[in-house]
Structure 1
């Protein structure tokens, strides 16, 4: 079958990080503006009681300032509600299509340019600019769009571990899109990197359990429904295990697996 490689690149936006506004910051700003408006209203009430017999220029100025505060509060509320509808946590003022993304250079305002390249001709067969900085949600849409562009039923998709997504890979395979993607493994950083890594534990499908380096079985202990992650552990076996100092600094070792 034809082979296509997919990867993403972060392209910097024109707007700087100083133009990024978070939803939490808008909530705090809206609360502060409401407090200032309440204080102004109380001040106007006191002025009306003290100077009910006249309506001088100072009163007009105070009322205009109050209207400006209300307009700013409404604008802040509208921006917050828009971000809630879109399900985004950050907004780039002046460049709303950009997003705050992680990159090798640190956090920056950017776009995520997804590219699919034919490995034989080295030609770009499909590209798309997305606002999601995480490549793990781009596998299925990019693979399917590439399949449509090439008008081919069978394709082999190559990508790095950033695209590892069990659910999307399964959907791709159902459409004759064979995915060749290394699994995304978490690194055991405890003990200065001298402890057993995840690949030292071997999964047995028939038992739905992992066999650890000490030859103990780690059965399924917990499910995370939202993230579709399974947790395997055997606390009693870890308690008296002779290899525990080489395995974990905690009370027991847990191995995770995508559903």
Structure 2
């Protein structure tokens, strides 16, 4: 083939066999994994199988499986079966494992039997990052994410689900019984007999399901949180941001360094809400970083007064927005958090986005300044809860505002005023 890049012949023999080392660059991340794992004291961390048994079939050293485990999570390959395939076709994994290819059952058992030791490896990695000066800034960002468990939503039962399922079963039973009554009033026939047999079998299955549902209800009522999962007992039903898109899984909390985006600490919980996780994660991050003070940033889902107070008492400065709980916007009224008030002696201007109102305490007339210049407008008494354009009066009757809006957002005042902007975040300072 002319003018194309040609590959080598598959049947071409080489005088000197190629070395796997030549396929791995000097700055390849797998070299970091290899050095990190070889430097760990696996027996001290709690890994089993470090000392081989005198009898039986030889096993894989824990360092081999740990390297494969870290490589998989670094490259988003979590499945044990996919890791098994990667060990037989990926050159990086071949170099890392010395051409060993453990099967998926061995990989899965290693992950299941060494959960606590793997957490200690994460802590050792954080310690290494601190020694390298990557965690010098005592500032973390805390957030959570819902991870789906190996448990179908139909295999998770709450009080509401049990009641809905029982109502469905009772409705089906009533429908089948009605069909059987109708069949009894008809003349006997071969097709009718087959239909009756089929309906009887369905009724038997429904009764069995109702018996199982009673057992599930008993287990659910005995649970502290009134919920039970059949496949994965520790998983729980959790609401997500999408409407009607709940998931049965876990809530994974993570504290990340704000400078280098390194995971400082993490925790898995089956609580669907983040409101009770702020102080716990912040204190864990502070203990890992070994610092006297800490700055933590989170979203409004973590806003909880007792949690903020606990962080304050532990020397942790928390920055997070306050939830928007006012119903004024949905009712068509002004929302106080969106108002910027410029206060002077006279006049007083209230600005909302690009719209503004001019108010005066003494005069009965005022001017609304637009692009073309001042225009006289009529003054009406205002009400704090009144909708834009409606009139009303304050209790003391001392303030009145324009009923016309300045669309240009420009305004002239004869005396200087100070701008006061309401902050939308709560900052706890020790």
The match for 1:16 is: 152
Partner Cα separation in structure 1 for residue 152 and residue 212 of structure 2: 23
**Structure 1 residue 177 and structure 2 residue 316: aligned?**
yes
Note the C-alpha offset of 1:242.
2.9
The match for 1:4 is: 140
Contact 2:138 2:289 (C-alpha < 8 Å) held by counterparts = no
Partner Cα separation in structure 2 for residue 15 and residue 180 of structure 1: 36
Cα 1:117–1:25 change in 2 (3 A) is closer
Note the C-alpha offset of 1:82.
2.4
Cα 1:160–1:76 change in 2 (3 A) is closer
Cα 1:77–1:243 change in 2 (3 A) is closer
Match of 2:283 among 134, 139, 144: 144
Cα 1:116–1:156 change in 2 (3 A) is same
1:133-171, CA deviations, whole angstroms, 9 ceiling, x for partnerless residues?
111111011111111222222100011111111111111
| Bigger radius of gyration | 2
Contact 1:115 1:124 (C-alpha < 8 Å) held by counterparts = yes
Match of 1:246 among 378, 387, 407: 387
Instruction: Give unpaired runs (5+ residues) of structure 2.
Output: 1-136, 170-207, 341-350, 352-358, 360-380, 389-430
Contact 2:150 2:231 (C-alpha < 8 Å) held by counterparts = no
* TM-score normalised according to structure 1 size: 0.57
1:231-253, CA deviations, whole angstroms, 9 ceiling, x for partnerless residues?
xxxxxxxxx96343328xxxxxx
Cα 1:29–1:5 change in 2 (3 A) is closer
Note the C-alpha offset of 1:87.
2.6
Partner Cα separation in structure 1 for residue 220 and residue 265 of structure 2: 34
**Structure 1 residue 196 and structure 2 residue 337: aligned?**
no
Partner Cα separation in structure 2 for residue 170 and residue 79 of structure 1: 37
Contact 1:27 1:80 (C-alpha < 8 Å) held by counterparts = no
Instruction: Give unpaired runs (5+ residues) of structure 1.
Output: 33-67, 203-212, 216-239, 248-259
Count of residues in correspondence between the two structures = 179
* TM-score normalised according to structure 2 size: 0.36
The match for 1:101 is: 238
Contact 1:5 1:158 (C-alpha < 8 Å) held by counterparts = yes
Partner Cα separation in structure 1 for residue 301 and residue 255 of structure 2: 15
Q: Secondary structure at the match of 2:219?
A: helix
The match for 1:82 is: 222
1:70-107, CA deviations, whole angstroms, 9 ceiling, x for partnerless residues?
x8588446403422xx234x322211211111113421
Note the C-alpha offset of 1:201.
8.3
1:203-228, CA deviations, whole angstroms, 9 ceiling, x for partnerless residues?
xxxxxxxxxx9x9xxxxxxxxxxxxx
Q: Secondary structure at the match of 2:321?
A: coil
The match for 1:155 is: 294
Contact 1:99 1:111 (C-alpha < 8 Å) held by counterparts = yes
Cα 1:25–1:158 change in 2 (3 A) is closer
1:116-127 equivalences under 5 Å are 116-127=255-266
Partner Cα separation in structure 2 for residue 160 and residue 128 of structure 1: 18
Cα 1:12–1:198 change in 2 (3 A) is farther
**Structure 1 residue 92 and structure 2 residue 229: aligned?**
yes
Partner Cα separation in structure 2 for residue 123 and residue 25 of structure 1: 40
Q: Secondary structure at the match of 1:113?
A: strand
Taking CA–CA contacts closer than 8 Å with sequence separation of 6 or more, which of the two structures ends up with the larger relative contact order? 1
Q: CA RMSD in A?
A: 3.8
